Structure 1
């Protein structure tokens, strides 16, 4: 039987209708239903935690979530599910999407990009630009791949996917490296995000002061956090019983138990439970500090200030706001810190006092000698109307901080989540052997001001 040949115009119309129908079906597809169509051999994407991730990614696609943090153990398909396949899904549903994919180095980022590109071929029409560092679709969409520290200069993005920016423990424990990642995020990535764009941070937690902690603290009310520990804890987002494995088909309780036996508790708690805590210090048991989202409204508060001996020599001035509630729980609610010249420091002191309000007492360490007295008098006059007191420093630093240490070591101190958490915790952990102690001194002074009821609280100088 001879085949029927449609006129070219009819054939084109039929092809267009078929194309539109395919586009309609793809647009209606949930992400979790898309995954089996692009799954590698042997992979099953019908796991509860992957379904939950799919629901969150659908919300990102709809514009309901624009900051999503996903914390998962190693080898639980977070990269394959989120970083590699979700950009392809977005380019099918929203063809003009411009996506940025990042990894801990350039090679890894390009590997992600190649995998995404290979999946997209046959599903999405592409231009001749098909490199691992950047590829484009004929509809105007694109995917750019960069490693940590490499700026995507000249581009704007609707979708930024950051995948495990830390490679190993040595990097995680380095304050310098963590600061490098933060600078890259704030200066090179965040500035490339288009209005209405979304950031997805998919990682295994290595450190309490990692990129996730800082990013969430910088926009505390914006992030949706999906924390999926290997072994379920109380209030599990999947409804698991406590101790139940996240992906028992691959890592059952026995497998996770063997891993736990090999690893030290510090590493297992961070990498597998997504609950990084500080290493215990010798003076301050900083692993007893709890980081919370907010403090009670009713606190008796003081901001302690410790001033640098000189500007430009690595010394810091710090102002720490500390409060105590009616149950005797202590709350660090804010830290201001910088390497400021005297005039700049005074400006910060005045501005912070105005922000705190007259209800927050001010305690300043007074330098010895007449110069210290003169400075204290000048600052007291500058801050007229506030409850301010200068205390002449006496005794060693450890003795002055002993009362604060007792409360921290008993688990009675909370830190309100903020970008300053990491630096304060690290300084407390290293005290008294650390390079800097300005924040410790300021916090201890505020603590002593609030606890030593026998001292005057009316803003006068001690002679």
Structure 2
């Protein structure tokens, strides 16, 4: 009896919904001409128990997806915090919108995530949305003729295939949607991370039907400096990058090629204070820890403040006072690449000391061949002049000694000191950390400032530490090679 009553209630509710849609169909279709409007209208179908809460970040994501639909861009990277409805927008709503309101029912999608759990979940949601009375009443021309657990198709040759990222082979699409290629459980594993980034570089690009017209959309939270987002930036892939941290950081304010600019202005201003009020954000910070929060919520997989150095400790100035004592310290890249890591950098950092203050004057950083390194050594020595001490490290073993002797010959006529490294990197950087915290280290304004601060302030959790090594060696050389000590800095 109760089952029959529930069935009758469901039937009447469905009938009432159909009548409502029929009466208001034109208005609904008009609002659904934009993806953001479609999201508002369709939300109740997928989330009947959760009231829709709009935010400007949803508009931002939708605007960039519309730019893909319109053919204005074909490579898009989106970094947003968990809980931003990213999967619902990109892996569910966008595809239903293109097939229905935009009339692109022949479009073929290949969607993927770190495992088959999210793949099945989003395939089911997208399929159920298209099979709903609401959607079919408004866009009856979209008829599904195959409805599998991880794939479905329509009568206009449109398809949606879902596969785990590790199985991204054989299928192709007009849209490749990569939604969280890394798992939070394995992103810290160099082997797993490298396998994922290799799959992205070597496999994802080949999954498109048309290299010029087809599109790749990557949407993810940051989990490590060497994750897929990091590789896109490191390699210089031409992706439009929408980056929205939970808390606004003015020096990282996002602007994109389609004219978008993060509307926030105050440091620390929240992305979505309705869904994530300040109290909730502070609890996340406390419970997750600064490293995890910085990556997943700030889209910066190393704390901006924390570790051994903090950005607020470094003042940027325009020049060094006359009469300063100077040293240029070098840190040379390893001759062989480390498994699971991108190549290290060679760094030449010049530092000056004057009346208790240290000035980082210049940083030259690059991935150079041995011959190019030797040329850099000679050129910088010539430009710096004979009064600037040159400090170079000596790697252990006969090869390290021979390489050091070669560099001394190249730098004949200049004041050169070859110093074998002692202790671990963090120990060698401790004096530099103490001087920075005391306010005794300043940076001379230059294009290198941002990269230097990004690396130093992520140490020791960051991907690279070459600038830190050169920074620490230069400071230690000025202290040990002079009449002053750290006590009278």
Q: Which TM bucket (shorter chain)?
A: 0.5 to 0.7
Alignment of 1:160-239 (within 5 A): 160-168=176-184, 170-193=185-208, 194-219=211-236, 222-229=239-246, 231-234=247-250, 237-239=262-264
Q: Does 1:274 align with 2:299?
A: yes
User: For each residue in 1:351-387, what CA deviation from the matched residue of structure 2 results, as whole angstroms up to 9, or x when unmatched?
Assistant: 6667x69745698655689876766677899xx8999
Q: Is the 8 A contact 2:86 2:219 kept in 1?
A: yes
The equivalent residue for 1:36 is 40
Deviation at 1:105, TM superposition (A): 0.7
Rounded to whole Å, the distance in 2 between the matches of 1:390 and 1:204 is 46
User: For each residue in 1:115-167, what CA deviation from the matched residue of structure 2 results, as whole angstroms up to 9, or x when unmatched?
Assistant: 1122233346356443233333333332221223222x223333222222333
* Count of aligned positions: 396
| TM-score for both structures, normalised by structure 1 | 0.65
The equivalent residue for 1:396 is 422
Rounded to whole Å, the distance in 2 between the matches of 1:68 and 1:314 is 25
Q: Is the 8 A contact 1:358 1:387 kept in 2?
A: no
The equivalent residue for 1:429 is 460
Q: Does 1:305 align with 2:337?
A: no
Q: Is the 8 A contact 1:66 1:198 kept in 2?
A: yes
5+ unaligned residues in a row in structure 2: which ranges? 1-25, 255-261, 319-326, 353-358, 382-389, 482-489
| TM-score for both structures, normalised by structure 2 | 0.62
User: For each residue in 1:208-263, what CA deviation from the matched residue of structure 2 results, as whole angstroms up to 9, or x when unmatched?
Assistant: 4432222223226643223141x445458133655554334433334434444544
Structure-2 change in CA distance of 1:304 and 1:262 (3 Å): closer
Structure-2 change in CA distance of 1:440 and 1:204 (3 Å): closer
Structure-2 change in CA distance of 1:141 and 1:108 (3 Å): same
5+ unaligned residues in a row in structure 1: which ranges? 1-21, 291-295, 337-347, 455-463
Rounded to whole Å, the distance in 1 between the matches of 2:183 and 2:401 is 51
Deviation at 1:302, TM superposition (A): 7.7
The equivalent residue for 1:134 is 151
The equivalent residue for 1:6 is none
Q: Is the 8 A contact 1:126 1:138 kept in 2?
A: yes
Q: Does 1:97 align with 2:101?
A: no
Structure-2 change in CA distance of 1:372 and 1:225 (3 Å): closer
User: For each residue in 1:269-298, what CA deviation from the matched residue of structure 2 results, as whole angstroms up to 9, or x when unmatched?
Assistant: 4333334315999xx8266699xxxxx9xx
Structure-2 change in CA distance of 1:105 and 1:311 (3 Å): closer
